Structures are given as structure tokens and as C-alpha cells.
């Protein structure tokens, strides 16, 4: 594939071609085109050198004039001239940019190059291109479809003209041959014609003028080519530098892209790992939530079961209370009835006693008899009361026994109903089996009639075995049902026990968590108290500074290193740094210096890793709180200080 880079490569190599090719080309060109001056020819060459892609009409006019076949300044006329003779590719336009294979065909036809066998057969531009490559007229990396720059056209023209110059004699050699031919003519042919001599002398003068013009043009072109070569070398060096810079930039961009790709890959891997970790955490959280939900469901089930049992127990207690209340009501009713009966009898007894007294007054004997009768009646009434109480107790006992008997009878009825249901099912199964036996017997009889006794006996035995198998299966089903019921009851009890154990474990775990939290709170409180006691017991030495400075000296840095080691051992410590100054400068200057001193100490402590910058508070007091008198140098030195105080962790 032809690229612009290959065009630049060809142009750069063409600029380094030996100047003698162009010199030869110009010499022959001037000899074939005497109507052009040296200046116009140089301008046309400059135009071609600056043309990146020549058209077919430009190439046709230049090559026809260079070969001497047609001298014209009209490019369209030159194009039609070459097109009529079939020297150009088919269907090309005059203003169309010329391809290298089309120009190759034009070169071969204009300069009468015979060409190879394939070109003579096909007259194809492609084989014309291959012929010129073979003849080394086209050099370097080229393509048949590439556009032809003016420099390449000049180079190819100079190559072909040079080859023609080597093959044909020069004009000087032709003139010498003509002179030799004149000198060797027969004496009878010599003449004193002065006109012929003058014509020869004129032609020699014209030839000398042409040679002088050619030499001048060659010198100018050589100078121009030298300047052009120097400029081309500088341009090539500059382009090489630009290319090197571009290559370096590309390499840097490639490395940057590789680094970005590596970073992106690392980011993707980190994102994938993070997603996997998040998925694992989410899965663990879901499993934990599922376990907690199961535990909660078990706890709820245990609570519901406990509530159900409490309700049952409450219902039983309520039933017992109701029964006791009814029994108490019945007893109270019986007692009330007994009291009423006793009162009635007492009233009757009182009436009888009065009657007896009246009778006693009337008749003493009758009184004694009445007294005896009253005694008998009283004894009888007491006996009746005792009998009534005994009857009530007997009735209550009988009622209780009757209730127990009723309950037993109910249970017996239920059991009897169950047994009856089982017996009914057994009877139905027996009836079914009997029916099957009958059917089998009938079938057996039929088979006996149809197939013989032995086969019937075998089938009867099979039927009996089948019936026994059915009975055994029925028995096993009943056993299996009983086992399943037992298993379900055991499973239910195990679930209840597991729920109770889980509830106990959950309660124990919560108690442990509460105990651990309480221990953690106690430990945190103990540490805070210890940190507060430690902070209250620590007194740091003051940090001093030179006059009008907040730079730390080496001695003060050593002090701060010791302070930093102490602060590292106090968790969550908060540091208060206060800066002071001596009585110098203005008030604003003193405040500024004190603040800068406090900030310098804070920055140094943070750089030592003593604590976080967020836990440090700095303030500047200026000269408002002197530690000594500012009247002496020693006092002023003591006032140029920073004081550090701490508070416990929080």
C-alpha cells in the first residue's frame, strides 16, 4: 500500500541525485527547444519541483517538448497530440492527476522505448511501469497507482535523456562529421561560394552562443542545486528531529496507554474483588439474617407454644374455678336450705314447747308426757339434720362419681367408636378380601373347569399368597402409621426441646453480649479516666525561640521529640498549643509572631506522628501573659515561648 511517507522518501532521495543528470537534461533540452530562454526554462523547472502531483496535460507538454517531438506552450494541445496517438491511458482527463503507470506509458511512447514482450502484447500502463522499473528509470519504493510529483517527472526525464545522450552522438560530433565529410569530397565538387562559407560561419557562431548559454544555465542550475541540496539536508535533519520527537512522543503515549491500561486492569480487578467481597458479605449477611429469622421463628413458635399452653392452663384453671364456684354455690344453696329447714323446725319446736307449757299448767302429767314427746321430737330433728347432711355429702360424692363415670363412659364411647371404626374398617377389609376370595374362587372354579385342577390349585395358592400378602401389607401399613405417629410426636417434642434450648442459648448469648458491652464500657471508662489522670499529671517544658523568629532550633526539636513520644502513648489525646512573644514590635506583630510559633510547634508534632492535626488547637497570645519581666534580656528570652498542655482522650 503506497503512503504519503513513501512519497516523502522518494522526494528526499531524488533531491540527493547527482546534479549531472539535470545538467545533461538541460543541455539536451536547450538543444531541442531553442525558442526557450535559459531563464524561462529555469522557472518551469522550479514550478515542477514545487508541484506535488502533476496532471496529464502538464506531463504531456513537458515530455513532448523535452523530446523535441512537439514544441508548444499549450498544455491542452500537447494532451490532445498524445491522446490521438494512443500514448496515454484510456479515459483520462487533461486536468486529472497523473498516475505513475500512466506516465510510464507516456514516457515509453514519447521516447520510442521498445518495451518488453508483455508490454508489446498488451500496451498496458502497468507493464510500461514494470519496464521502466526494470530499466532503473524508476527507483526507490514506488507504486503504479501513486501520484507523480514534479521532482519524480524531472528525474525520470533526466534518466531517459541521459541514456539517449549515451546512445546518440552529440551535436559537436555531428558538426565535426559534416566538416570531415566536406573535406573528404572530391576536388571537382569544391567551390568558392562565399555564401556557403558565411552560412557555415554563422552556424558556428550560433552554436558557440548556444554552448555559452548552456554553460551559463548549467552554472546557475548547479548553484541552485547546491543551495537546494543544503536546504534539503537541513530540512531532512529537521524532519528527522521532528520524527524522533514524534517517535518519542508516541513511545511515551504508548507507555502512558500501557500504564493506563494496567491501572484500568488493576481497577477492574480491584472492583471485581470488591464486588466478590461485597457479594460474599451480602451472602453472609443473608445467611446470618436467615439464621436469625429461623431463630426468631423458633422463638416465636416457642412463645406461641408457651402462650398456647398458658391459655390451655388458664382454661383448665378457669374450668376448675368454675367447677369450684358451682360446687361452692351448690354447697351454699344446700347449707341455706338446711338452715331454713332448721329454722322452720325450730319454729315448730317453739310452738310445740308453748303448747306443752300450757298443757303443763293445765295438766302436770300431760306436761311431763309433752316434755318427753318434745325430747323425742328434738332428738328426731337432730337425727334428721344429720341424715340430711349425710345425704348431701352422699349426693355430692355420687355426683362426682357420676361425673367420673360419665367421663369414663365418654372415653369408653370414644374408644369404642374408634374400635368400632377399626373393626368396621377391618370388617370392610375382611369383606373385601372375602369378596376377592369369592371372586378368585369363582375364577378358580371357572379355571378348573377350563384349564384343570393343577393349574387351579396353583392359582388358588397364588391367590392365597396374594391375600396373605395383602393382609401383611395392611398390618405393615398399620404399624407404619403407628410408627409415623410416634415419630411425629417425637419430632414435635424434639422441636419443642430444640426451641427451648435455642431460646435458652439466645438468652445466654444476649446475657454474654450485655456482659461484654458492660465490660467494654467499664474498660473504656477506665482508660478515659487513666488518660485524664495521665494528662493532668504531665507538665511539658516550654519551647523557646530566637528574637523575632518562629524557627525551631535543634535543641527545641529534641525537646519536641520527647514530647511526641509521650503523646503517642496517650490515646485520643487533645493538644493545646499557646504561643507567646516578648514585648517587642507592635501588638499586631506580637500576635502574629506568637501564632506562627504555635503553628510551627504543631506542624512539627504532626510530622513526628505525635497525634492528628485535627486534635491540635493553636492560639497566639502575643505579649499578654509574660512568664518573666521584659526589662531584661533573660526575661524577654523566657517570654519568647510556646506552652503545650493536653487533655485526656474522648
Nearby residues of 352 by Cβ (< 8 Å), 6 or more positions away: 370, 374, 377
Closest CA to 643 of 535, 568, 541: 541
- Say if residue 405 is in the same domain as residue 456: no
Q: How confident is the model at residue 360 (pLDDT cuts 50, 70, 90)?
A: low
> For the chain, how big is the Rg over CA atoms in Å?
69
Task: Report the pLDDT value the prediction gives residue 328, as an integer from 0 to 100.
Answer: 72
Task: Report the pLDDT value the prediction gives residue 556, as an integer from 0 to 100.
Answer: 93
**Residue 303 pLDDT > 90:** no
**CB crowding 600-627: b at 16 or more within 10 Å, else e:** bbbebbbebebbeeebbebebbbbeebe
**Residue 136 pLDDT > 50:** yes
**H or E segment and range at residue 185:** none
- Say if residue 151 is in the same domain as residue 11: yes
What is the arithmetic mean of pLDDT over 380-396?
Answer: 70
- Say if residue 505 is in the same domain as residue 612: no
Task: Report the pLDDT value the prediction gives residue 384, as an integer from 0 to 100.
Answer: 67
Task: Report the pLDDT value the prediction gives residue 34, as an integer from 0 to 100.
Answer: 39
User: Are 300 and 498 spatial neighbours (Cβ–Cβ below 8 Å)?
Assistant: no
**Residue 37 pLDDT > 60:** no
- Whole-angstrom Cα distance, residue 499 to residue 400? 40
Task: Report the pLDDT value the prediction gives residue 379, as an integer from 0 to 100.
Answer: 63
Closest CA to 545 of 584, 571, 500: 584
What is the arithmetic mean of pLDDT over 120-147?
Answer: 91
- Whole-angstrom Cα distance, residue 597 to residue 549? 8
**Residue 231 pLDDT > 80:** yes
Closest CA to 547 of 644, 643, 645, 635: 635
Q: How confident is the model at residue 456 (pLDDT cuts 50, 70, 90)?
A: low
Q: Does some domain include residue 258?
A: no
- Whole-angstrom Cα distance, residue 329 to residue 334? 8
**Residue 59 pLDDT > 80:** yes
- Say if residue 441 is in the same domain as residue 470: no
Q: Does some domain include residue 299?
A: no
**Residue 256 pLDDT > 50:** yes
Which domain range does residue 578 map to?
Answer: 539-647
* DSSP output for 487-513: HHHHHHHHHHHHHHHHHHHHHHHHHHH
Closest CA to 574 of 477, 646, 508, 500: 646
Q: How confident is the model at residue 618 (pLDDT cuts 50, 70, 90)?
A: very high
Strand duo 574-579 + 641-647: pairing? antiparallel
Domain final residue, candidates 180, 200, 222: 180
Burial class (CB in 10 A: 0-12, 13-18, 19+), 554: exposed
Domain final residue, candidates 400, 416, 445: 445
Task: Report the pLDDT value the prediction gives residue 181, as an integer from 0 to 100.
Answer: 53
- Whole-angstrom Cα distance, residue 598 to residue 577? 6
SS3 for 328?
helix
Q: CATH number, domain at 578? A: 3.30.1330.60
- Whole-angstrom Cα distance, residue 310 to residue 262? 69
- Say if residue 22 is in the same domain as residue 143: yes
- Mean pLDDT (the chain, rounded): 80
Measured in whole angstroms, how far is the alpha carbon of residue 387 from the centre of its chain?
100
**Residue 152 pLDDT > 70:** yes
Q: Can you name the residues that pair with 233 across neighbouring β-strands?
A: none
- Say if residue 545 is in the same domain as residue 587: yes
Q: How confident is the model at residue 36 (pLDDT cuts 50, 70, 90)?
A: very low
Nearby residues of 430 by Cβ (< 8 Å), 6 or more positions away: none
Is the whole model's pTM more than 0.95, yes or no?
no
- Say if residue 166 is in the same domain as residue 31: yes
Q: Which of 38-42, 104-108, 334-338, 395-399 has the highest mean pLDDT?
A: 104-108
Closest CA to 68 of 160, 133, 141: 160
Residue 144: DSSP 8-state: T
Q: How confident is the model at residue 376 (pLDDT cuts 50, 70, 90)?
A: confident
- Say if residue 630 is in the same domain as residue 519: no
Cell match 323425742: residue? 376
- Whole-angstrom Cα distance, residue 513 to residue 420? 59
Q: How confident is the model at residue 198 (pLDDT cuts 50, 70, 90)?
A: confident
Closest CA to 32 of 161, 209, 199: 161
- Say if residue 411 is in the same domain as residue 462: no
Between 57-66, 219-228, 565-574, the lowest mean confidence (pLDDT) is in 219-228
Between 108-112, 120-124, 231-235, the lowest mean confidence (pLDDT) is in 231-235
Domain final residue, candidates 445, 468, 500: 445
Angle at 617 between CA 612 and CA 623, to 5 degrees: 145
Task: Report the pLDDT value the prediction gives residue 183, as an integer from 0 to 100.
Answer: 52
User: Are 68 and 32 spatial neighbours (Cβ–Cβ below 8 Å)?
Assistant: yes
Angle at 133 between CA 131 and CA 136, to 5 degrees: 110
**CB crowding 19-31: b at 16 or more within 10 Å, else e:** eebbbbbbbbbbe
Between 49-63, 223-237, 539-553, 606-620, the lowest mean confidence (pLDDT) is in 223-237
Q: Does some domain include residue 218?
A: no
**Signed CA dihedral, 250, 256, 260, 266: sign only:** positive
Q: Does some domain include residue 323?
A: no
Q: How confident is the model at residue 274 (pLDDT cuts 50, 70, 90)?
A: confident
Q: Provide the greatest CA pair distance for the chain.
A: 241
Task: Report the pLDDT value the prediction gives residue 535, as an integer from 0 to 100.
Answer: 60
Task: Report the pLDDT value the prediction gives residue 381, as an integer from 0 to 100.
Answer: 62
Task: Report the pLDDT value the prediction gives residue 617, as an integer from 0 to 100.
Answer: 94
SS3 for 195?
helix
Q: Does some domain include residue 340?
A: no
Q: Can you name the residues that pair with 628 across neighbouring β-strands?
A: none
Q: Can you name the residues that pair with 616 across neighbouring β-strands?
A: 575
Task: Report the pLDDT value the prediction gives residue 605, as an integer from 0 to 100.
Answer: 93
Cell match 458491652: residue? 517
Task: Report the pLDDT value the prediction gives residue 349, as an integer from 0 to 100.
Answer: 63
**Residue 104 pLDDT > 90:** yes
Task: Report the pLDDT value the prediction gives residue 27, as an integer from 0 to 100.
Answer: 46
- Whole-angstrom Cα distance, residue 197 to residue 192? 9
Q: How confident is the model at residue 64 (pLDDT cuts 50, 70, 90)?
A: very high
Q: How confident is the model at residue 295 (pLDDT cuts 50, 70, 90)?
A: confident
List the strands of the sheet with 543-544, edge to edge. Answer: 543-544, 641-647, 574-579, 616-620
Q: Can you name the residues that pair with 641 across neighbouring β-strands?
A: 544
- Say if residue 533 is in the same domain as residue 544: no
Task: Report the pLDDT value the prediction gives residue 351, as an integer from 0 to 100.
Answer: 62
Task: Report the pLDDT value the prediction gives residue 531, as an integer from 0 to 100.
Answer: 63
Task: Report the pLDDT value the prediction gives residue 470, as an integer from 0 to 100.
Answer: 85
**CB crowding 524-542: b at 16 or more within 10 Å, else e:** eeeeeeebbebbeeeebeb
Q: How confident is the model at residue 596 (pLDDT cuts 50, 70, 90)?
A: very high
Q: How confident is the model at residue 355 (pLDDT cuts 50, 70, 90)?
A: low
Q: How many domains are contained in the chain?
A: 4
- Say if residue 549 is in the same domain as residue 421: no
**Residue 464 pLDDT > 90:** no
Q: Does some domain include residue 298?
A: no
**Residue 82 pLDDT > 90:** yes
- Whole-angstrom Cα distance, residue 335 to residue 91? 144
Closest CA to 239 of 517, 560, 15: 15
Q: Does some domain include residue 560?
A: yes
- Whole-angstrom Cα distance, residue 177 to residue 7? 45
Q: Can you name the residues that pair with 202 across neighbouring β-strands?
A: none
Whole-angstrom distance between the N-terminal and C-terminal Cα of the chain? Answer: 76
pLDDT, tens digit (0-9, with 9 covering 90-100), for 545-565? 999 899 999 999 999 999 999
User: Are 642 and 598 spatial neighbours (Cβ–Cβ below 8 Å)?
Assistant: yes
Between 421-435, 502-516, 553-567, the lowest mean confidence (pLDDT) is in 421-435
Q: Does some domain include residue 376?
A: yes
pLDDT, tens digit (0-9, with 9 covering 90-100), for 517-535? 988 888 877 777 766 666 6
**Residue 305 pLDDT > 90:** no
- Say if residue 427 is in the same domain as residue 488: no
Helix axes 150-167, 4-15, angle to 10 degrees: 50
Nearby residues of 278 by Cβ (< 8 Å), 6 or more positions away: none
User: Are 577 and 617 spatial neighbours (Cβ–Cβ below 8 Å)?
Assistant: yes
Amino acid at each position: 500500500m503506497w503512503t504519503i511517507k513513501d512519497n516523502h522518501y522518494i522526494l528526499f532521495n531524488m533531491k540527493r541525485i547527482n546534479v549531472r543528470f539535470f545538467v545533461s537534461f538541460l543541455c539536451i533540452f536547450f538543444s531541442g527547444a531553442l525558442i526557450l530562454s535559459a531563464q524561462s526554462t529555469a522557472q518551469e523547472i522550479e514550478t515542477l519541483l514545487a508541484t506535488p502531483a502533476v496532471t496529464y496535460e502538464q506531463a504531456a507538454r513537458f515530455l513532448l517538448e523535452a523530446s523535441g517531438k512537439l514544441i508548444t506552450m499549450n498544455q491542452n494541445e500537447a494532451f490532445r497530440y498524445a491522446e490521438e496517438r494512443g500514448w496515454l491511458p484510456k479515459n483520462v482527463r487533461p486536468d486529472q492527476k497523473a498516475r505513475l503507470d500512466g506516465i510510464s506509458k507516456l514516457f515509453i511512447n514519447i521516447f520510442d522505448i521498445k518495451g518488453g514482450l508483455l508490454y508489446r502484447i498488451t500496451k498496458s500502463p502497468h507493464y510500461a511501469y514494470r519496464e521502466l522499473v526494470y530499466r532503473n528509470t524508476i527507483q526507490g519504493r514506488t507504486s503504479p497507482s501513486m501520484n507523480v510529483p514534479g521532482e519524480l517527472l524531472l528525474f525520470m526525464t533526466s534518466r531517459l535523456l541521459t541514456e539517449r545522450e549515451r546512445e546518440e552522438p552529440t551535436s559537436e560530433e555531428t558538426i565535426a562529421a559534416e566538416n570531415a565529410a566536406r573535406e573528404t569530397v572530391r576536388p571537382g565538387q569544391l567551390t568558392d561560394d562565399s555564401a556557403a562559407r558565411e552560412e557555415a560561419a554563422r552556424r558556428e557562431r550560433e552554436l558557440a552562443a548556444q554552448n555559452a548559454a548552456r554553460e551559463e544555465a548549467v552554472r546557475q542550475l548547479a548553484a541552485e542545486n547546491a543551495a537546494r541540496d543544503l536546504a534539503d539536508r537541513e530540512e531532512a535533519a529537521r524532519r528527522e528531529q521532528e520524527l524522533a520527537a514524534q517517535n518519542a512522543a508516541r513511545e511515551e503515549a504508548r507507555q502512558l496507554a500501557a500504564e493506563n491500561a494496567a491501572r484500568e486492569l488493576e481497577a477492574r480487578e480491584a472492583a471485581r474483588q470488591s464486588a466478590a467481597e461485597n457479594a460474599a458479605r451480602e451472602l453472609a449477611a443473608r445467611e446470618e439474617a436467615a439464621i436469625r429469622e429461623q431463630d426468631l421463628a423458633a422463638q416465636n413458635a416457642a412463645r406461641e407454644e408457651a402462650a398456647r399452653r398458658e391459655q390451655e392452663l388458664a382454661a383448665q384453671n378457669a374450668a376448675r374455678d368454675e367447677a369450684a364456684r358451682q360446687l361452692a354455690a351448690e354447697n351454699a344453696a344446700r347449707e341455706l336450705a338446711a338452715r331454713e329447714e332448721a329454722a322452720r323446725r325450730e319454729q315448730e319446736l317453739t310452738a310445740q314447747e308453748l303448747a306443752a307449757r300450757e298443757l303443763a299448767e293445765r295438766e302436770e302429767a300431760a306436761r311431763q308426757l309433752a316434755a318427753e314427746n318434745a325430747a323425742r321430737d328434738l332428738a328426731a330433728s337432730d337425727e334428721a339434720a344429720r341424715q340430711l347432711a349425710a345425704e348431701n355429702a352422699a349426693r355430692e360424692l355420687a355426683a362426682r362419681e357420676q361425673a367420673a363415670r360419665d367421663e369414663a363412659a365418654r372415653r369408653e364411647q370414644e374408644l369404642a367408636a374408634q374400635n368400632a371404626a377399626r373393626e368396621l374398617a377391618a370388617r370392610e377389609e375382611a369383606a373385601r378380601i372375602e369378596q376377592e376370595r369369592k371372586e378368585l374362587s369363582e375364577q378358580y372354579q371357572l379355571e378348573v373347569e377350563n384349564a384343570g385342577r393343577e393349574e387351579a390349585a396353583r392359582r388358588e395358592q397364588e391367590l392365597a399368597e396374594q391375600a396373605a400378602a395383602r393382609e401383611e401389607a395392611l398390618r405393615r401399613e398399620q404399624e407404619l402409621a403407628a410408627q409415623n405417629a410416634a415419630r411425629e410426636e417425637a419430632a414435635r417434642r424434639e422441636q419443642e426441646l430444640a426451641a427451648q434450648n435455642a431460646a435458652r442459648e439466645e438468652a445466654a448469648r444476649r446475657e454474654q453480649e450485655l456482659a461484654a458491652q458492660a465490660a467494654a464500657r467499664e474498660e473504656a471508662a477506665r482508660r478515659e479516666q487513666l488518660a485524664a489522670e495521665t494528662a493532668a499529671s504531665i507538665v511539658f517544658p516550654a519551647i523557646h525561640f530566637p528574637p523575632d523568629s518562629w524557627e525551631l532550633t535543634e535543641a527545641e526539636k529534641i525537646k519536641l521529640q520527647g514530647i511526641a513520644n509521650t503523646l503517642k502513648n496517650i490515646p485520643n489525646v487533645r493538644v493545646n498549643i499557646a504561643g507567646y512573644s516578648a514585648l517587642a514590635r507592635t501588638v499586631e506583630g506580637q500576635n502574629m509572631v506568637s501564632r506562627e510559633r504555635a503553628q510551627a510547634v504543631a506542624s512539627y508534632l504532626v510530622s513526628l506522628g505525635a497525634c492528628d492535626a485535627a486534635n491540635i488547637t493553636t492560639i497566639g497570645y502575643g505579649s499578654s501573659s509574660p512568664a518573666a519581666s521584659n526589662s531584661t534580656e533573660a526575661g524577654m528570652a523566657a517570654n519568647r515561648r510556646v506552652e503545650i498542655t493536653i487533655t485526656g482522650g474522648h
